[in-house]
Homo-oligomer: A and B are copies of this chain.
Amino acid sequence: MPASALNVPTILFGGDYNPDQWPREVWDEDVRLMKEAGVNAVTVGVFAWSTLEPREGEFDFAWLDDVMDLMAKNNIGVILATPTASPPPWFTLSHPDGLPVTKDGVHYIHGSRDTYNPSAPSYRNAARIITRKLAERYAGHPALLMWHLHNEYGTISYGPHTDAEFRNWLIRKYSTLDNLNKVWNSRFWSQQYATWEEIFAPQATQYLPNPSAILDFKRFCADQLRVVLDDQIEIMREVSPNTPLTTNFMLPTWNHFNQWDFAADIDVVSIDHYLDSTTMDGEAHVAFASELARSFNNGQPWMVMEQGTTVIYDYAAGRVYPKAPGRMARNTLQYIAHGSNSSLFFQWRTPLTGAEFFHSGMIPHTGENTRAWREIVDLGHTLHQLAEVTNAPAHNSRTNTAKIAIVWEPDAWWSAETPAMPSNDVAFLPALREVHKALWLEGFAADFVQLGAPLEGYDLVLVPNFIAVSDAQAHNLTQFVRSGGHAAVWFFAGSTDENLNVRVGDTFTAAFADLLGIKVDEHWPLPTGEFRELSNQMSGFSWGESVATTTAITLATYRSADLKDKPAITRNTFGAGTATYVSTQIRGTELRALMREIVLNAGIDKTHPQAGDGLEIVRRFSGEHTYLFVLNHTDSSHTVSASGYELLTDTPITSQITVAPFGYAVLREDTPTR
């Protein structure tokens, strides 16, 4: 983690700082308050394009020079952003072709953010110019901590530029139209293409589109965002090669690019993660996001680039709720326990107006005499106490080790969102969150992996949802089990190849037929609200299947008349391992019971014998030390067996520690565990 090279405590603490949106006299006040809170890092310039380049080709860096110098003078590091996520108003007038067009042909203009077409040469050119200007001016600046490329990549556009680039992408993938026509089965509904020019991005049409084309378009859009990221990486590697690069991933509901692919070429993964629940679901979700981020970053320390301070975002209901006192700090410790080296917020100072004027801030509208500011100051103090957690050298800082891996594939998400599935209840993100939450509530840690990635090191691989599996991916999981690993695969998985072509054969889930030792001859989607009783006290929702075992044994059968006595959950011994199949959706406490059994079968231990039910106990590895984070998300106190040195109270612990309701402790362990 390059952060350790800075003359600052190693947990980065601060937030998005937009001095360009405030009068100069406020800046000094900012510095005073940053020092009061112990802020050591700020993210500058995320949306400053119109300030840096107020007219096309006219640049104004004076104010940013001031900011950089002020930060350097005050020993506050700057994560400097390229402002390319939001072109200035002049871009609309000089490059209307560079603006986004919707599926229905609506032309958007500026007035918000993210108003550009990533396939438009005019946009790419404008973005490269401002990126190079910034790089050239600030490379090597003493305040410069990191480059923050763009912001929350995620823009989709249709229109001629997109059509052209999509065609190029398809030519690269398929080489010939024959291949494409075959893979898309484009003769269906008379869509066979005779020339590449006949292919367009899948804009609005009469009725259902082609699912393989839709999936390819989602891949293309993701790759196109990668292209504009590459534009910036290339410039930075050339002009500012010694400063690390990041770009912030918006979690969890954005799926517009392939996180694994982005992570491979930046230096550190950072995430934006906003608490979205007033209940403990929020903490389950912090753990989910954290384990994702750690996994994207290959186990190395990662960063929280944005979280909210004292508000919870319920976008569906169109409102923000107050975050309970102390929760912000507890969530922050969760991120750090799972490998974050930062605690950054959106944003330093809440703006007085603008589209997010009631978003959160470290300094709220009502200023210093508020519980929000008091909690920020306290958090700064807490983080100072925890600094040693992050100061291991980068090469020795794999932050956690999980024996369970959950398969996260952008392709799986995109496939599940494709129209014309047998049931629109088939969903990716909710399935993964439910499985992860069940594990978390049971006290188990989990990584996320790609199905084609090396799986050695794991004891159990979970595939909660993945329709479109390639042969190589299927082979990889099969080899993993053959070599002694354990797998659990959920319904519908591997029913098609990677292009949403149903696999030919006598069973669905065909990619895993041998591995699972079953045949599935029929899907059995269930009406909303209906369920099917199983023989093991559980109930199945949303989906069922007509399953027959070949080599597997049956762990539970259906008891309903329609699927009477057919296997619902099976397990196959395969090579040196086992493969469990779950043919329906199990929920809540029943899913916890199922996961407990599956994990037990794989011989995996909890992170700590007492972990679970909201008592989160996480061990973070850092160089030669291990740190035990005990986070009590419940309203009862808990006494946990542990020994070491508690950092927040500066107290040695010999055998056990009591953690208050909603409290936490962090121990440098006497005997590091591996």
Contact = CB atoms under 8 A, between A and B. Distances in A.
Interface of A: 18, 20-21, 47-51, 54-55, 83, 86-90, 92-93, 100, 104-115, 155, 183-195, 197-200, 202-213, 278, 310, 314, 317-322, 324, 350-358, 364-372, 419-425, 496, 499-502, 504-508, 519-528, 546, 562
A198 B310 CA distance: 36
B89 A371 contact: no
B211 A354 contact: yes
24 contacts: A20-B187, A89-B191, A90-B194, A90-B195, A111-B191, A112-B189, A112-B205, A114-B207, A188-B356, A189-B354, A208-B356, A210-B353, A210-B354, A318-B424, A320-B422, A320-B523, A322-B546, A353-B501, A355-B419, A357-B502, A365-B504, A365-B508, A366-B519, A366-B522
A109 B320 contact: no
Contact of A50 (B86, B105, B187, B425): B187
Contacts of A186: 50, 354
A422 to B, nearest CB: 4
Given A88-B192, A368-B506, 15 more contacts: A89-B193, A89-B199, A90-B198, A105-B107, A111-B205, A188-B353, A207-B355, A208-B355, A209-B355, A317-B528, A321-B524, A321-B525, A355-B419, A365-B504, A369-B506
A100 B367 CA distance: 45
A114 B205 CA distance: 9
A191 B522 contact: no
B319 A525 contact: yes
Contacts of A200: 92, 109, 111
B194 A89 contact: yes
Contact of A321 (B365, B507, B527): B527
A192 B527 contact: no
Contacts of A109: 200, 203, 205
> Which one of A197, A199, A322, A420 has the highest number of Cβ atoms from chain B below 10 Å of its Cβ?
A322
A421 B311 CA distance: 13
Contacts of A422: 319-320, 358
Contacts of A48: 187, 190
Most buried by B among A364, A365, A505: A365
A125 to B, nearest CB: 17
A54 B112 contact: no
Contacts of A496: 352-353
B113 A50 contact: no
B192 A364 contact: no
B356 A205 contact: no
